[in-house]
Chain A
């Protein structure tokens, strides 16, 4: 049985991004956090493999204790095991330091497949998957859309690039970074009373990492300044240059074009509320 590790990140809801003017880092206090939608797609792909081949799915995230929320959600989605990498020395880690910590954990488990989101909605660097692969000296596939198939130690992946789609075959172990797409979230009924206990909490010491390898000290990049893009508003804006019919169509679809595979949820029934909650989780 092969083992999959899915790397998850808790991100602030981009609707209310606030930046600490002193150190130019994200203010996470008082801001609702959600699972990075790219990572959710990586998790979805992993769970599909679990269903098809019976693989085990382990999820991990790095962050404060509140990040448990996304691990609990992963259990409800069907993950088997979850690690929370939490240590005060990790604060301020850039992508290099973050990848260092993830690799520390990944090496312990001997995973065949390491799945990540292509990027996160709060920083969008796209560094993590690539860095993990380089540090571990294993192959990587970026901009993955889905896993097409698997044969012994070879995995076939469909990836989407600017001008073409590619079907790539690589040898495991491999790091695959997935793009964001729409899918139906299915939650499983599980024993909620022990859900928190199932999360395995690990610190730097458990991974044989030194404090200076991570955090601000272990980071190469420093954010000097961030400007908020004013286009980030919590509502659909309509382009006045569109024809009247197109403007109306744009409004009726909530700004979603036919090519986007998103679901519009309109009512306030309990089912829908739960569905929305699971989507923004």
Chain B
């Protein structure tokens, strides 16, 4: 690929727009989300201010912060900001002023947790009726009428905090979580009083909340809604109802804009769509709402590309383009798009490892590709300085770790020489991407490779394996060993059918009908190979055996839904709690955890035996230079240090490269 730059103009995306009297410089919206940056006291933190300011600096037109709880009971967890606390005003004001300084407008989003909490145990799950909250397996508390009145008042009180902090508007969640959507939901709302039954009754609490908030807002402030338009649940409501709700809210002038959303906590993959869901899938939902309302509509749903955004606006499907994860991944999306630098954008791949995968562990939100997310003060825009002493750095290995290290080193002005034994950069990403729906991982490599081409101080020697001779002849001041890892079969396995998942993904194996997969880790690789086999070969059956308690037991929760949704359709037998003891050409033996019970599988009963998830570092060069000397600084990163995730490789590479 030549380093030619695509220069494009996005006239619609960068046209000005107004929501009521709120003037926006462009159509780009940072969608609200849970950041878990709140302090122990549930007050907004400094991190939060820096986080939003960064997106304003990056050229975003409208920033919607969130998801602020309206009361203590309304918090999903203590890491959610409690906006009823007036002490929030200090840091809220800072965030607002900073965003305004960079020309962005800012709206604060309010919600009451209702039946969706992440804290344990899940006390006080308020819902219209008592039902089983399916995503958590907890029973809800049917809310009393006076408690509804209390919730309505709480929305008003919290809105006052936002007014006093100088926000340009307030948004309320009738979305995937919180108490308001579930009043519309046929599953949650089985009430017989004025809050249940007819459509008008179900909308009553929403009507009351928005009317209450409107009474607290100044004249120029806008009021909007984040609306889940299709619950994607069999006993939930569909888009027809979603559109009806939107129309009701617009017709009754309850809101000034509608921000579209889909899914619930039970259909998490529609709420926060992973890379399995196509980019821009939600356009039809925005378009359906746009058709029936005369107020601005914000599009959503895996938008990460300005060309795609421009097309959505051109199709007339929405007025504004909403993104959360993309701006987490690259806060400068707007500025880069405005300059037409589409290839310079680091695109969100929807992996869900750093963002939602973190906050659901109640850990601050981050991004596997962008180490600066949440650490803007230290690593954000403008913090990367030229190195005081210019060094010659040799990097062995052009996988993710090596490339990221090269990027930061190059930006700091060092001279970089990178050796990669394969002709193609990217290392294990090139193996990974052949698994269905993992293609987007190659964006991680695409971005780094593209950026490196802009630097004359970087030499990439692809197809040349680093060795002690060519490293020494470069006379480096610093050497990074990022030579990755290899998959291997441990000595306990003496079955001649045994292969690794890499062998399968690299097409080195003839696959039969009956396949045994052993996965000691039960992480992403094991489930990936099973998915790959079912996708590639027809009429096969797989016995998946793991000492863990399930398939993908240690993968991030957020991705399990979609994986199991697919795999459980297939001829797959999952055998948990069994650890491999031995394997020869007669049989493979397993031992049940905590017992003496054995399970033996005859060799004749399977065609292939895939031993997955065992990697070891390729670090010979590291030890050689570390022990023999010759280069003053020797480092290692990525899988050469220890086999781990993309996130570890990228984040450690950034930190290390900044220190040299």
Segment of B439-447, B475-483, B520-528, B584-592 in the binding face: B439-447
Instruction: Check if B385 is an interface residue, CB within 8 A of chain A.
Output: no
Q: How far is the CB of A277 from chain B (nearest CB, A)?
A: 12
In the complex, are the beta carbons of B439 and A266 less than 8 A apart?
Answer: yes
Instruction: Check if A1 is an interface residue, CB within 8 A of chain B.
Output: no
Instruction: Check if A164 is an interface residue, CB within 8 A of chain B.
Output: no
In the complex, are the beta carbons of B440 and A267 less than 8 A apart?
Answer: yes
Identify which of A244, A264, A268 contacts B233 (C-beta below 8 A). Answer: A244
In the complex, are the beta carbons of A237 and B284 less than 8 A apart?
Answer: yes
Q: How far is the CB of B110 from chain A (nearest CB, A)?
A: 28
Are A244 and B267 also in contact (CB < 8 A) when A238-B284, A251-B278 are? yes
Determine the residue in chain B with the shortest Cβ distance to A254. B278
Q: Determine the main DSSP class of B at the interface with A.
A: loop
In the complex, are the beta carbons of A264 and B565 less than 8 A apart?
Answer: no
Using Cβ atoms and an 8 Å threshold, which residues of chain B touch A272?
439, 442
1/0 contact trace for B262-280 toward A, CB 8 Å? 0000010110000111111
Q: How far is the CB of B427 from chain A (nearest CB, A)?
A: 14
In the complex, are the beta carbons of B284 and A236 less than 8 A apart?
Answer: yes
In the complex, are the beta carbons of B311 and A240 less than 8 A apart?
Answer: no
Determine the residue in chain A with the shortest Cβ distance to B565. A248
In the complex, are the beta carbons of B278 and A267 less than 8 A apart?
Answer: no
Using Cβ atoms and an 8 Å threshold, which residues of chain B touch A270?
1, 446
Determine the residue in chain B with the shortest Cβ distance to A245. B234
Instruction: Check if B347 is an interface residue, CB within 8 A of chain A.
Output: yes
Instruction: Check if A234 is an interface residue, CB within 8 A of chain B.
Output: yes
CB within 8 Å of B: which of A229-252? 233-238, 240, 243-245, 247-248, 251-252
Instruction: Check if A259 is an interface residue, CB within 8 A of chain B.
Output: no
Q: Determine the main DSSP class of A at the interface with B.
A: loop
Q: How far is the CB of A238 from chain B (nearest CB, A)?
A: 6
Instruction: Check if A269 is an interface residue, CB within 8 A of chain B.
Output: yes
In the complex, are the beta carbons of B433 and A236 less than 8 A apart?
Answer: no
Q: How far is the CB of B194 from chain A (nearest CB, A)?
A: 28
Interface residues on A, range: 20 to 34
Using Cβ atoms and an 8 Å threshold, which residues of chain A touch B441?
267
In the complex, are the beta carbons of B234 and A252 less than 8 A apart?
Answer: no
Are A251 and B277 also in contact (CB < 8 A) when A240-B240, A268-B443 are? yes
In the complex, are the beta carbons of B315 and A235 less than 8 A apart?
Answer: yes
Instruction: Check if B431 is an interface residue, CB within 8 A of chain A.
Output: no
- Complex Cα spacing A236 to B315, Å: 12
- Complex Cα spacing A235 to B299, Å: 13
Q: How far is the CB of A240 from chain B (nearest CB, A)?
A: 5
In the complex, are the beta carbons of A235 and B317 less than 8 A apart?
Answer: yes
In the complex, are the beta carbons of B270 and A264 less than 8 A apart?
Answer: no
Instruction: Check if B448 is an interface residue, CB within 8 A of chain A.
Output: no
Are A248 and B443 also in contact (CB < 8 A) when A233-B315, A240-B239 are? no
- Complex Cα spacing A265 to B275, Å: 12
Q: Taking each of A235, A238, A247, A254, which has the highest tally of chain B beta carbons within 10 Å of its own beta carbon?
A: A235
CB within 8 Å of A: which of B464-511? none
Instruction: Check if B281 is an interface residue, CB within 8 A of chain A.
Output: yes
Determine the residue in chain A with the shortest Cβ distance to B312. A235
In the complex, are the beta carbons of A235 and B232 less than 8 A apart?
Answer: no
In the complex, are the beta carbons of B230 and A247 less than 8 A apart?
Answer: yes
- Complex Cα spacing A270 to B453, Å: 14
Are A266 and B280 also in contact (CB < 8 A) when A234-B315, A243-B234 are? no
Identify which of A234, A235, A248 contacts B270 (C-beta below 8 A). Answer: A248
Q: How far is the CB of B363 from chain A (nearest CB, A)?
A: 28
Q: How far is the CB of A168 from chain B (nearest CB, A)?
A: 30
Using Cβ atoms and an 8 Å threshold, which residues of chain B touch A240?
230, 238-240
Using Cβ atoms and an 8 Å threshold, which residues of chain A touch B446?
267-270
Using Cβ atoms and an 8 Å threshold, which residues of chain A touch B305?
268
Using Cβ atoms and an 8 Å threshold, which residues of chain B touch A247?
230, 232, 238
- Complex Cα spacing A234 to B279, Å: 13
Determine the residue in chain B with the shortest Cβ distance to A268. B443
In the complex, are the beta carbons of B233 and A269 less than 8 A apart?
Answer: no
In the complex, are the beta carbons of A252 and B278 less than 8 A apart?
Answer: yes
Q: Taking each of B233, B281, B433, B445, which has the highest tally of chain A beta carbons within 10 Å of its own beta carbon?
A: B281
Q: How far is the CB of B559 from chain A (nearest CB, A)?
A: 13
Q: How far is the CB of A269 from chain B (nearest CB, A)?
A: 4
Determine the residue in chain A with the shortest Cβ distance to B276. A252
- Complex Cα spacing A237 to B277, Å: 14
Are A268 and B1 also in contact (CB < 8 A) when A251-B277, A251-B278 are? no
Q: How far is the CB of B8 from chain A (nearest CB, A)?
A: 14
1/0 contact trace for B229-251 toward A, CB 8 Å? 01111101011100000000000
Using Cβ atoms and an 8 Å threshold, which residues of chain B touch A265?
439
- Complex Cα spacing A233 to B238, Å: 21
Instruction: Check if B656 is an interface residue, CB within 8 A of chain A.
Output: no
Using Cβ atoms and an 8 Å threshold, which residues of chain B touch A251?
270, 277-278, 281
Using Cβ atoms and an 8 Å threshold, which residues of chain A touch B437?
266
Q: How far is the CB of B103 from chain A (nearest CB, A)?
A: 29
- Complex Cα spacing A50 to B618, Å: 48
- Complex Cα spacing A234 to B310, Å: 12
In the complex, are the beta carbons of B279 and A266 less than 8 A apart?
Answer: yes
- Complex Cα spacing A238 to B282, Å: 10
Identify which of A234, A245, A254, A267 contacts B442 (C-beta below 8 A). Answer: A267
Instruction: Check if B19 is an interface residue, CB within 8 A of chain A.
Output: no
Using Cβ atoms and an 8 Å threshold, which residues of chain A touch B311?
234
Determine the residue in chain A with the shortest Cβ distance to B437. A266
CB within 8 Å of B: which of A250-281? 251-252, 254, 264-270, 272
Identify which of A237, A243, A248, A252 contacts B267 (C-beta below 8 A). Answer: A248
In the complex, are the beta carbons of B440 and A248 less than 8 A apart?
Answer: no
- Complex Cα spacing A236 to B347, Å: 22
Q: How far is the CB of A247 from chain B (nearest CB, A)?
A: 6
Instruction: Check if B287 is an interface residue, CB within 8 A of chain A.
Output: yes
- Complex Cα spacing A163 to B267, Å: 40
Using Cβ atoms and an 8 Å threshold, which residues of chain A touch B269?
248
Determine the residue in chain A with the shortest Cβ distance to B240. A240
- Complex Cα spacing A142 to B233, Å: 45
In the complex, are the beta carbons of A233 and B234 less than 8 A apart?
Answer: no
- Complex Cα spacing A233 to B30, Å: 26
Using Cβ atoms and an 8 Å threshold, which residues of chain B touch A233?
284, 287, 315, 317
A-B contacts, 18 listed (Cβ < 8 Å): A233-B287, A234-B315, A238-B239, A240-B240, A247-B230, A248-B232, A248-B270, A248-B565, A251-B277, A252-B278, A252-B562, A254-B281, A266-B279, A267-B443, A267-B446, A269-B446, A270-B1, A270-B446
Residues of chain A having any CB pair with chain B under 8 Å:
233-238, 240, 243-245, 247-248, 251-252, 254, 264-270, 272
Q: A235-B280, A264-B278 are in contact. List 17 more A-B contacts (CB 8 A).
A: A233-B284, A234-B311, A234-B315, A235-B312, A236-B278, A240-B239, A240-B240, A244-B231, A244-B233, A245-B234, A248-B232, A254-B278, A267-B439, A268-B305, A268-B442, A269-B433, A270-B1
